[in-house]
Amino acid sequence: MSLIKSDKEINLIRESCRIVSQVLKNIKEYIKEGISTLELDKYAEEFIRSQNAIPAFKGISDKKRIFPATLCVSINEEVVHGIPSSERILKNGDIVSIDVGVLKNGYYGDAAYTYKVGDISSGKKKLLKITEESLYRGIKQAVPGNFVNDISCAVQNYVEGSGFSVVRELVGHGIGKNLHEDPAIPNYFNPQNVFKLEKGMVLAIEPMVNYGKCNVKVKQDGWTVVTKDGEPSAHFEHTICVKENEPEILSISE
């Protein structure tokens, strides 16, 4: 498996990312008080399949269990991998992170966005703002000759300098024929990570930022990751391609 993608491969990834970005763009109108996370999931699956594509997360296995849904929908203290349910109803003041992956023509696209439900607290507003801004600061570092740690440090320094914390246990990743490929893209500095970026690499960069401490745990369902202190968490992600002068965001809506 080559980490350097051809122009043809990048175009195929771009098409999967187009569908991903359209889901995240269109789903915004459904994000309102009273809707269940299962309703959001049904919309996403119907749209993805209408594009002759496959929901990338549905049926994925961690060797112990199967993820049952199209979307990961994570509310408030849920960091990632929340399982959609008819019993999980959005409420005014919630923040909800939606992570979506698409497989089309043998290549994957992946992105995430955290939405506000109605009126949210000033603390949550700042959390969303800083997390999204940290993503773009990380993306700017994805140029040939830089290292993964340049991305990681850009995210970590901005997040921690703003009073929040980055999750350690979960990281970004390469993407292509597989949903998760090398290299791993942590959101914090790791002196052992000396991976150098090259033109043609495609990466999913995804800061997961906690309002409180960085510690997380997994709920009994085996999937949903939550903050240990119960404070809210935000998640933003783009699939990008390392280009000569500046990275191209493949998962952005036109």
- Residue-level pLDDT at 227: 98
User: Which tokens hold the place of 31?
Assistant: 């994000």
- Give dist(CA 150, CA 168) in Å, integer: 16
- Residue-level pLDDT at 2: 80
Q: Are strands 165-166 and 208-210 parallel, antiparallel or unpaired?
A: antiparallel
Q: 3-state class of 203 per DSSP? A: strand
Domain ranges of the chain: 7-249
The distance of Cα 178 from the centroid of its chain, to the nearest Å, equals 16
* CA distances in angstroms from 7 to 111, 202, 248, 249, listed in the order given: 21, 11, 13, 15
Q: What string of pLDDT tens digits covers the 254 residues of the chain?
A: 689 999 999 999 999 999 999 999 999 999 999 999 999 999 999 999 999 999 999 999 988 899 999 999 999 999 999 999 999 999 999 999 999 999 999 999 999 999 999 999 999 999 999 999 999 999 999 999 999 999 999 999 999 999 999 999 999 999 999 999 999 999 999 998 899 999 999 999 999 999 999 999 999 999 999 999 999 999 999 999 999 989 999 998 65
pTM of the predicted model, to two decimals? 0.96
For tokens 């240990």, the residue is 228
CATH topology of domain 7-249: Creatine Amidinohydrolase (3.90.230)
